Amino acid sequence: MKIFEVIEAKKLSKAHDDLDDVMDKPENPDDDKIPHIFMQLKKALDVDGNYPITFKDGKKAKLSMEQIAAFIKKYMKLNPQDKESLQTQAANSLEGFMAALKQDFTKPELPKIKGSRYMSGFAGDFDDK
């Protein structure tokens, strides 16, 4: 291949593509208008509650240390699905935050079935044997 052909090939490879205008830049989570609710609460915990929490409705509120500690304790006990729903509800507004603190995210206990470990899925005449 001649040098001229190499230069032409490089020029063609750098040609403007129509999709370049369409592609969006990925969003930076650090540039979010409202930081993650859990991170805001951890900051507030570090400064003894002297940090206003910003909610998605645009309002700010300072929470008591008891409220912050209760939310973090509840958050740490939940599974990932429940954590996400707790965050979503709490981040919307102060009222949503208070409702999230009161909401019970525990799963109801399943009824126990008699039988051996090999027949735990079966219920019937053979349970007592």
The per-residue pLDDT for range 97-117, each reduced to its tens digit, is 999 999 887 666 667 666 555
Q: What percent of the chain has pLDDT over 70?
A: 61
The answer to whether 105 and 86 are in contact (CB under 8 A) is: yes
| Tally of structural domains, the chain | 1
Give the CA dihedral 30, 33, 36, 40, nearest 10 degrees.
Answer: 100
The answer to whether 99 and 89 are in contact (CB under 8 A) is: yes
Q: Which domain holds residue 47?
A: 33-102
In a domain, 115, yes or no: no
In a domain, 24, yes or no: no
In a domain, 125, yes or no: no
The per-residue pLDDT for 22 is 55
Q: What is the mean pLDDT of residues 84-93?
A: 91
3, containing H or E segment: helix 3-13
Q: What percent of the chain has pLDDT over 90?
A: 37
Most confident by average pLDDT, 34-43, 64-73, 105-114: 64-73
